[in-house]
Amino acid sequence: MIKDITIGQYIPGESFVHKLDPRLKILISLLFIVDLFLVNNFKGYLFVVIFILITILIANLSFKYIYSGLKPILVLLLITAILNIFMTTGKEPAIFHWGFISVYKEGLTIAAFMIIRLVFLIMGTSILTLTTSPIELTDGIESLLRPFKRIGVPAHELAMMMTIALRFIPTLMDETDKIMKAQMARGADFESGNLISRAKSLIPILVPLFISSFRRADELAMAMESRCYKGGEGRTRMKQLHITKKDYIASFAFTLLFVITIVSRT
């Protein structure tokens, strides 16, 4: 399940989505998140589903791979659904009542909305990282933050840190999987017992994981220093970012989705 995490991974390709400007993809991803919370009915989410499916097809991504990226959040989705179903009250009579447990129509609706939002949130961010290389993400974030340099915001350093953190998510997941297998080979049990005992059994994983993370960070810092990395001042780029016709087409498509979802609110 740990290896199923898709956020932070990149799949090289030559698709329409891969060749879009990274600045546009970042902006679309941010506005897509906003759009998810603007939708207030299931009809609006129907258009979101169509947009996501078309994007995955155009990007030549595997639906099975996208689905595997949702497996790690199944527990979170279950907890979210339970909390909203049993903790939400409504004006209409309960559709189910047993003892102190009551289920209202509003609770079921809110639970469904929250699950759909979380699923699409993970899928949208996964598509961004799966179709955008770490270097493109760094250049895109830095370009978007460049206007804030006038007020002292270190745009290049922030973009570099965000990209490195995002890039190391799958690396740390692989490291965690290796440590767990090593511990299981030595007799560790991570599956039996109650929730508290399972949480305690994870402690032997955290210590080597932190040590490995600090070691990787130190190696990365030494590698950057050995290459005379001094920040963003005076740096040039081999590939310059340019807006093309494909970017205008993608902008129009997403704008159409945004307008349709807002209109569907009424």
Question: Do residues 10 and 170 lie in contact, with contact meaning Cβ atoms separated by under 8 Å?
Answer: no
For residue range 63-101, what is the model confidence (pLDDT) as tens digits? 887 877 777 777 788 888 888 777 777 677 767 677 667
Question: Do residues 29 and 122 lie in contact, with contact meaning Cβ atoms separated by under 8 Å?
Answer: no
Task: Compute the mean pLDDT over every residue in the chain, rounded to the nearest whole number.
Answer: 80
At residue 252, does pLDDT exceed 90? yes
User: Which residues have CB under 8 Å from 2's CB, separation 6+?
Assistant: 72, 173, 174, 176, 177, 180
Give the count of domains, the chain. Answer: 1
**Within a domain: residue 133?**
yes
- Per-residue pLDDT, 76: 81
For residue range 170-208, what is the model confidence (pLDDT) as tens digits? 777 778 878 778 777 777 666 666 666 666 777 777 888
Question: Do residues 182 and 212 lie in contact, with contact meaning Cβ atoms separated by under 8 Å?
Answer: no
> Cα(36)–Cα(111) distance, rounded to whole angstroms?
15
Phi, psi of 210 (to 5 degrees): -65, -40
**Within a domain: residue 71?**
yes
Host domain of residue 17: 2-167+240-263
Tell me the mean pLDDT in the region 30-51.
Answer: 87
- Does the pTM surpass 0.75? The reply is no
- Per-residue pLDDT, 129: 83
At residue 1, does pLDDT exceed 60? no
**Within a domain: residue 222?**
no
**Within a domain: residue 12?**
yes
236 — pLDDT class (breaks 50, 70, 90): low
**Within a domain: residue 233?**
no
More confident residue, 232 or 66: 66
> Cα(263)–Cα(31) distance, rounded to whole angstroms?
16
**Within a domain: residue 225?**
no
Instruction: Name the E strands within the chain.
Output: 96-98, 101-103
**Within a domain: residue 247?**
yes
- Per-residue pLDDT, 248: 92
**Within a domain: residue 154?**
yes
What are the CA-CA distances from residue 12 to residues 59, 61, 132, 237 (Å)? 10, 10, 8, 20
